[in-house]
Chains A and B, each alone.
Chain A
Amino acid sequence: MNVDFAVIRRILAGNPDAFRVLVRRYEGHVWRLARAFTRDPNDCEDLAQDAFLTAYLRLADYDPGQGPFLTWLLTIARNKCLNALKKRKPRLLAELPEGADQRTPDLAFAEKEWFRQLDVALDSMPLEQKVVFLLAEIEELPHEEICRIEGVPVGTVKSRLSRAKEKLRSFFRAVEQP
C-alpha cells in the first residue's frame, strides 16, 4: 500500500509516466474483473482501459486511509463495468451463455473441456455472485475489501459467495453422476 502511495505521489507531482507502474501491477486484476462482465476481449479491453483512465484522472481523490489502492481501483472498474452493462445490456449479455452445458461428460472427459465447462458454470451465475466469487476465490481478496468494492455488508458477500460455491458444487455433482 505504501509502495502504491509513493508511486501515486510521484504521479501527482507531475510524473504521469509513473502510472505505468500501477497499470503493470494491477492490470491482471482489473482485466479478470472485466472478464466477469463480458466475454468479448475487445469490450473487456475497453472496460479495463476505461477503469485505469478514470483512476488516473481521479487519483487525487484516492485516500490511502480508506483501504488499499487495489480496492479503490477495483471499485472504479466494477462501477464502469456495471454502467457499461446498463448501457449496452443486450450486447454484453448476449456474450454470456444461457446456462451451463448440460451434456453429460464421460470419464475420459478431457481436462480442457472440464475447465471449459467450469467456465461456463461460472459465467451462467448471476452477476453479483460471479463478481463476489471472482474477487474472493480467484483474486483472493479479504471479505472486508469485497464489501468496499461491492458496497454491501459482509453478510451479503458471504451469502453471495456461498450461493456461488453451491452452484459450482452442483456442477461437480452433475459431472460425478451422469
Chain B
Amino acid sequence: MDQDDRYLLWKQRRAKADPPADFADKVMAAIPRPEQSRRDRLHFRAWLMALLHSRTGKIGLCSLAVLACAFRVLQVFSVFIPE
C-alpha cells in the first residue's frame, strides 16, 4: 500500500471518528423543555408577586429606589462642585 492509499485510509478513519452512542440522549436531556421554562417563568412571577406583596419586599424596593434617586441627585450636583 503506497502513501496516497494510506493517507486516504487515514482521512476515512478520521472522518469516522464519531461521538459515543448515547451522545444524542445526553444533548436531548440537557435541552430545556417548554414545560420547564414555563414553570420557571411561573416560579419567577410567583416570587416577584410575593416580594411585591410582602412588607419586607416593599421596604427593600423603596429603599433601593431612594438610594438610586439620591445617587442620581448627587451625580447632578457634583457637576457644580469645582475640582
Measured CB to CB, the residues of A under 8 A from B are 14, 16-17, 19-20, 23-24, 27-28, 31-32, 35, 45, 48-49, 52-53, 56-57, 111, 114-115, 118-119, 122, 134, 137-139, 168, 172, 175-176
B33 on the A face (CB < 8 A): yes
Q: A32 contacts which of B9, B17, B34 (Cβ < 8 Å)?
A: B17
Contact yes or no, A52 B27, CB < 8 A: yes
Residues of B within 8 A of A175 (CB): 3
Interface pair B23/A35, CB less than 8 Å apart: no
Q: How far is the CB of B31 from chain A (nearest CB, A)?
A: 5
B55 within 8 A of partner (CB): no
Tell whether B6 is near chain A: CB-to-CB under 8 Å: yes
The answer to whether A24 and B3 touch across the interface, beta carbons within 8 angstroms, is no
Chain A residues near B13 (CB, 8 Å)?
115
Cα-based distance from A64 to B2 in the complex (angstroms): 43
21 residue pairs from A and B, CB less than 8 Å apart: A19-B27, A19-B31, A27-B18, A27-B27, A28-B17, A31-B18, A31-B19, A45-B19, A48-B19, A49-B23, A49-B27, A52-B27, A53-B31, A111-B9, A119-B14, A122-B14, A134-B14, A138-B14, A138-B15, A175-B3, A176-B3
Main DSSP-derived SS at the A contact region: helix
Name the contact of B11 in the complex, choosing from A14, A16, A27, A137 (C-beta under 8 A).
Answer: A137
Q: Which B residues lie at the A interface, using CB under 8 A?
A: 1, 3, 6-7, 9-11, 13-15, 17-20, 23-24, 26-28, 30-34
> Does more than half of chain B's interface fall in helix, strand or loop, or is it mixed?
helix
Contacts of B32 in A (CB 8 A): 57
For B30, what are the chain A residues with a Cβ–Cβ distance below 8 Å?
49, 53
A172 to B2, CA, bound (A): 11
Once the chains bind, are A114 and B6 in contact (CB under 8 Å)? yes
Give 7 A-B pairs besides A138-B14, A172-B7 with Cβ atoms closer than 8 angstroms.
A20-B27, A28-B18, A31-B18, A45-B26, A134-B14, A168-B7, A176-B3
> Bound complex: CA of A151 vs CA of B46, how far in Å?
44
Q: Nearest Cβ distance between residue A91 and chain B, in whole angstroms?
A: 21
**Given A14-B34, A31-B18, also A19-B23 (CB < 8 A):** no
- Chain A contacts for B18, CB-based, 8 A: 27-28, 31
Residues of B within 8 A of A20 (CB): 24, 27-28
